[in-house]
Chains A and B, each alone.
Chain A
Amino acid sequence: MEKQSNDQAGVSQLLSDAKSAAVGRRLFMRYLGTTAAAGVALSACTNQLDEAVPTGAARAGYRTVDLGDLGSNDVGILNYAYALEQLEAAFYTQAVMTPFSGMTEMEKTILTDIRDHEIVHRELFKAALSSAAIPGLTPDFTSINFSSRASVLGAAALFEKIGVSAYNGAGQFIKNVDYLLLAGKIVSVEARHAAIINTLLYPDGANFAGDDVVFPSSGLEEIRVPGEVLTLVAPYVYETINAMPVRRVA
């Protein structure tokens, strides 16, 4: 997998800490090594996957990022999660840096908390993937008006809802139980974020777990497979993200 130092938009500043990261990387590579081995061993019983699908319009000057085969080993899935966490971390970083007009103290506290959670998630995946990590993505938030409360909280609600459905839909493809648990530890926090953001938007409503995201007949939250998620996030990333997603039959 290629790596390059990417021209980052200022919003996604990386935490630069080298000292303990080296130890972390070694530990992670041990996990990753066993995962890669599992992927190879299991390839015999993996079903055929769909062809690679470009998920965004190519934009001049921006490269294509290839997540690889999401169904065969966990490296692709981890990079998929890393891509989503990069996007969320960058969004909340910008939202806190340029507060919308009339932001209350409570709103500022919540957005700052969530920003930090997403950065922790991003840094975990970055360390976990080490040299197998995709490059830093360049977020495109030109469609979001950061001075407008409705625009910012609306985008936050959208990102959180996509994030939860993405983790829920990807769990089935994870091979390593340790990674499955890790994804589980993160997805419930994303679901909490989704409920909190919707509570800011609709304080007295049922939107914290509304009928638009939780099927009323079953009490199950919606899920999305990677192809759907990458299509939804494509407008917010300059790079084109490719994957070989296991897709739902229409």
Chain B
Amino acid sequence: MNLQNILNEIEQVDADMYERLDHVSRRHVFSNFLKKAMAGAAPVAFAAILNKSYAQNSSVADVLNFALLLEYLEAEFYNKGLAASGLIPSGAGRTIYTQIAKHENAHVALLQSALGGAAIAKPAFDLTYKGAFADVLTNYQTYLAVSQALEDTGVRAYKGQAGALISAPAVLTVALQIHSVEARHAARVRMLRGQKGYIVNADSGGVPAAVYAGEDNVTQGGVNLVSATGYSMARVTEAFDEPLTKAQVLAIATPFLA
């Protein structure tokens, strides 16, 4: 960790932000944002904040476009899944996937609205993963497995971008608010498959191992928590989700691009 660099970056970004905001404090911007978000106008408020304070900050826009790519993929996956006749059974499965699809479509709309003209277009997707999941839209078990992979990847992808948003608190907060929703989805889908709701070691449970690379980490903040607590490695790894870098996520996601 290079402290001086972190301080310099914060100072620089904060100074820029205050200038753009005409002496409006960060706290007030955020308070207003929250008020609007609570009133149910989140996409509008988010767009306003982004345009006001971060429109010139390309690294923040890059993070949001990266998120948008993943949300496009998830939304497509669930919209196609729900539309495929005979794939998702009525009852719990249908209730769960209807709820998840609703969220992923909302995430797409939110990010598109925030990015405005800078938003990337929705690419064409190949949900069979170049043939590796050939029956994904006809075999429910395959669909569940791919769903788990997408959700756990989503959790790890948002986590990996948090640091890049530390100087943009309003955007960071929105990213966190999406991140925990993806984790809720992941847990529910894992349970549908008979897996534990959390990730044990780096167990892939039949999805590509790259999705769980590094999940077997037991050292947090410089402390080996197996030694410090006496708990098993499995237990300690369950207690933390690990981040994925953008490159790792893109490597996982690229075969989904047509």
Interface residues of A (CB under 8 A from B): 15, 17, 20-21, 23-24, 27-28, 30-31, 34, 37-38, 41-42, 45, 47, 110, 113, 116-117, 119-121, 123-124, 127-128, 164, 167-169, 171-172, 174-178, 180-182, 184-196, 199, 203-206, 208-210, 214-223, 246, 248-249
Contacts and interface: CB of A to CB of B under 8 A. Distances in A.
A195 B192 CA distance: 12
Nearest to B191: A199
Nearest to B100: A209
Nearest to A165: B180
25 contacts: A17-B229, A20-B223, A20-B227, A27-B223, A127-B221, A167-B176, A172-B172, A174-B166, A178-B1, A178-B221, A180-B166, A181-B159, A188-B182, A191-B180, A191-B181, A192-B183, A193-B187, A199-B197, A204-B95, A206-B98, A208-B188, A214-B103, A217-B40, A218-B42, A219-B106
Nearest to A37: B3
Given A38-B6, A223-B34, 17 more contacts: A37-B3, A47-B25, A117-B235, A120-B239, A169-B173, A171-B173, A172-B169, A177-B6, A184-B179, A184-B241, A188-B183, A195-B187, A196-B197, A208-B99, A209-B100, A221-B178, A223-B177
B238 interface: yes
Nearest to B179: A188
B155 interface: yes
User: Chain A at the B interface: mostly helix, strand, loop or mixed?
Assistant: helix
Interface of B: 1, 3, 6-7, 10-11, 14, 25-28, 30-32, 34-35, 37, 40, 42-43, 46, 91-92, 95-96, 98-100, 102-107, 110, 155, 159, 162-163, 166, 169-170, 172-174, 176-188, 191, 196-198, 220-225, 227-231, 235-236, 238-243
A116 B231 contact: yes
Contact of A127 (B27, B95, B170, B223): B223
Given A206-B99, A208-B184, A187 B179 contact: yes
Given A38-B7, A214-B181, A180 B163 contact: yes
Contacts of A199: 187-188, 191, 197
B34 A248 contact: yes
Given A17-B228, A17-B230, A189-B241, A218 B110 contact: yes
Contact of B242 (A167, A180, A185): A185
Closest 9 CB pairs of A and B: A219-B106, A218-B42, A27-B222, A191-B183, A24-B223, A188-B183, A172-B169, A192-B187, A220-B177
A92 B127 CA distance: 41
Contacts of B241: 184-185, 188-189
Contacts of A190: 180
Contacts of B172: 171-172
Contacts of B35: 248-249
A47 B92 contact: no
Given A28-B222, A219-B181, A221-B181, A189 B238 contact: yes
Nearest to A117: B239
B235 A116 contact: yes
A176 to B, nearest CB: 7
A105 to B, nearest CB: 14
A113 B225 CA distance: 16
Contacts of B224: 20, 24
Contacts of B187: 191-193, 195-196, 199, 208
Contacts of B96: 206, 208
B163 A217 contact: no
Contacts of B102: 216, 219
B228 A218 contact: no
A219 B183 contact: no
A217 B106 contact: yes
Contacts of B182: 188
A185 B1 contact: no
A47 B169 CA distance: 14
B6 A176 contact: yes
A200 B238 CA distance: 19
A195 B189 CA distance: 10
Contacts of A31: 1, 221-222
Contact of A206 (B95, B162, B179, B243): B95
Contact of A246 (B27, B32, B176, B230): B27
A185 B223 contact: no
A188 B155 contact: yes
A191 to B, nearest CB: 4
Contacts of B26: 47
Contacts of B110: 218-220
